[in-house]
């Protein structure tokens, strides 16, 4: 079923007497080029198992299903799941799960060797990315449509790092694939979007819990100098904090946003020496 047009999306929703729900971030994809760009970015193989977050009416789902082994589509809105039974009825390799994606991690989450994709609802972008990076069962790749500014923040480099950028880049290599104008979606969101690809990397051997304690301390007040943030939050005296930073070739008056992920790893590895 051809779903990639504003009029068809409206017709389907009318038929089921539903309206797009703002609280679930329902901005449906209605632009063919954006859909093609997204499918190309997913670089799909016949053997792929793909987990799609928020399939909505199934617009992306059906294109993916034609190219892969299985699609597991997780949709929170029961009504959308009902609609997909119709829109995806001629494909038999799609499993629709009516659930909140953030809850799949509560039970045993046992898919392996999979890709995660989706036109993400804006309100869960950061927690979704974080959960999939922190799980033992990391995906091979994640390809998402997200807000342009959030995509740029995730891919930032020093001196524009943020807690979000460090958190993602600690686990993975993120890359902006392309930009999508806001009129690619209906209802039209307020901001433009981007296609982002996030590829998990082999983990550096460092205590992740301690790493994030140090990073969060550093970013506690991003406008303040590292010396102050770290000594206050980690309860370390200023002189020791300065020595610790200098030993890692970091100036005590630098700000957290100027540090590379490797600087944070070095700080984590040497914190015990204080
Ligand atoms: N994939 C469709 C498309 O591109 O047209 C819909 C994308 S829309 C931006 C986001 C979808 O995610 C909606 O269908 C919404 O109901 C669903 N959704 C919102 N929160 C969710 C959650 N926590 N878990 C799973 N799906 C969710």
pLDDT score at 205: 85
Report residue 268 as tokens: 């984590």
Same domain, 155 and 263: no
pLDDT score at 26: 98
Same domain, 239 and 134: no
Same domain, 30 and 74: yes
65-82 average pLDDT score: 98
Question: What's the pLDDT tens digit per position in 8-65?
Answer: 999 999 999 999 999 999 999 999 999 999 999 999 999 999 999 999 999 999 999 9
87-92 average pLDDT score: 96
1 Cβ closer than 6 Å to some ligand 1 atom: no
Question: By residue range, what is the domain housing residue 212?
Answer: 208-273
Domain termination site, one of 143, 175, 200: 200
How many structural domains comprise the chain?
A: 2
The 3-class secondary structure across the chain, one letter per residue, is CCCCCHHHHHHHHHHCCCCCCHHHCCCEECCHHHHHHHHHHHCCCCCCEEEEECCCCCHHHHHHHCCCCEEEEEECCHHHHHHHHHHCCCCCCEEEEECCHHHCCCCCCCCCCEEEEEECCHHHHHHHHHHHHHCCCCCCEEEEEEEHHHHHHHCCCCCCCCHHHHHHHHHEEEEEEEEECHHHEECCCCCCEEEEEEEECCCCCCCHHHHHHHHHHHCCCCCCEHHHHHHHHCCCCHHHHHHHHHHCCCCCCCEHHHCCHHHHHHHHHHHHHC
pLDDT band at 274; cut points 50, 70, 90: very low
Same domain, 219 and 178: no
Whether residue 153 contacts residue 127, with contact meaning beta carbons closer than 8 Å, is answered with: no
pLDDT score at 272: 72
pLDDT band at 105; cut points 50, 70, 90: confident
151 Cβ closer than 6 Å to some ligand 1 atom: no
> Taking the model in full, what pTM does it have?
0.95
210 CA → ligand 1 middle, Å: 34
Same domain, 227 and 178: no
d(CA 100, CA 117): 15
Domain termination site, one of 200, 227, 258: 200
Same domain, 128 and 246: no
- Name the closest-CA residue to atom 20, ligand 1: 24
Same domain, 82 and 167: yes
Flag whether 214 is in a domain.
yes
pLDDT score at 1: 82
User: Could you give the dihedral angle defined by the CA atoms of residues 103, 105, 109 and 115, in that order, rounded to the nearest 10 degrees?
Assistant: 90
Most informative mutation of 65, 84, 121 for ligand 1 (most atoms within 8 A of CB): 121
Same domain, 111 and 220: no
Same domain, 221 and 189: no
Question: What's the pLDDT tens digit per position in 203-216?
Answer: 778 899 999 999 99
Residue indicated by tokens 């990073």: 215
Report residue 23 as tokens: 């609280």
- Name the closest-CA residue to atom 18, ligand 1: 54
Question: What's the pLDDT tens digit per position in 112-167?
Answer: 899 999 999 999 999 999 999 999 889 999 999 999 999 999 999 999 999 999 99
Flag whether 1 is in a domain.
no
- CB-based burial label for 46 (10 Å; 0-12, 13-18, 19+): exposed
Examine the pLDDT at 183 and tell me if it is beyond 90. Answer: yes
Same domain, 196 and 215: no
pLDDT score at 107: 76
119 CA → ligand 1 middle, Å: 7
Same domain, 179 and 66: yes
pLDDT score at 112: 84
Same domain, 153 and 176: yes
109 CA → ligand 1 middle, Å: 20
Domain termination site, one of 147, 180, 200: 200
Write down the mean pLDDT value for the chain. 95
55 CA → ligand 1 middle, Å: 6
Bridge partners of 96?
Answer: 73
């Amino acid at each position: 079923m051809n779903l990639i047009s504003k009029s068809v999306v409206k017709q389907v929703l009318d038929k089921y007497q539903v309206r797009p729900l703002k609280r679930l971030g329902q901005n449906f994809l209605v632009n063919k080029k954006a859909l093609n760009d997204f499918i190309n970015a997913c670089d799909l193989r016949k053997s792929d198992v793909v987990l799609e977050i928020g399939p909505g009416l199934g617009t992306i789902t059906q294109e993916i299903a034609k190219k892969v082994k299985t699609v597991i589509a997780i949709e929170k809105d029961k009504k959308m799941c009902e609609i997909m039974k119709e829109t995806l009825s001629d494909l038999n390799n799609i499993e629709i799960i009516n659930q909140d994606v953030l809850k799949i991690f509560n039970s045993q989450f046992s898919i392996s060797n999979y890709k995660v994709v989706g036109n993400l609802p804006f309100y869960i972008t950061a927690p979704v990315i974080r959960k999939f990076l922190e799980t033992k069962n990391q995906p091979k790749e994640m390809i998402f449509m997200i807000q342009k500014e959030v995509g740029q923040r995730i891919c930032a480099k020093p001196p524009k790092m943020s807690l979000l950028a460090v958190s993602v880049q600690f686990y993975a290599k993120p890359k902006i694939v392309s930009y999508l104008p806001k009129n690619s979606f209906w209802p039209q969101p307020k901001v433009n979007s981007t296609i982002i690809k996030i590829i998990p990397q082999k983990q550096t051997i460092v205590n992740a819990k301690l790493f994030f304690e140090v990073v969060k301390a550093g970013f506690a007040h991003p406008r303040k100098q590292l010396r102050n943030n770290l000594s206050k939050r980690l309860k370390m005296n200023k002189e020791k904090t300065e020595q610790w930073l200098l030993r890692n070739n970091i100036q005590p008056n630098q700000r957290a946003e100027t540090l590379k992920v490797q600087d944070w790893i070095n700080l984590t590895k040497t914190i015990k020496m204080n």
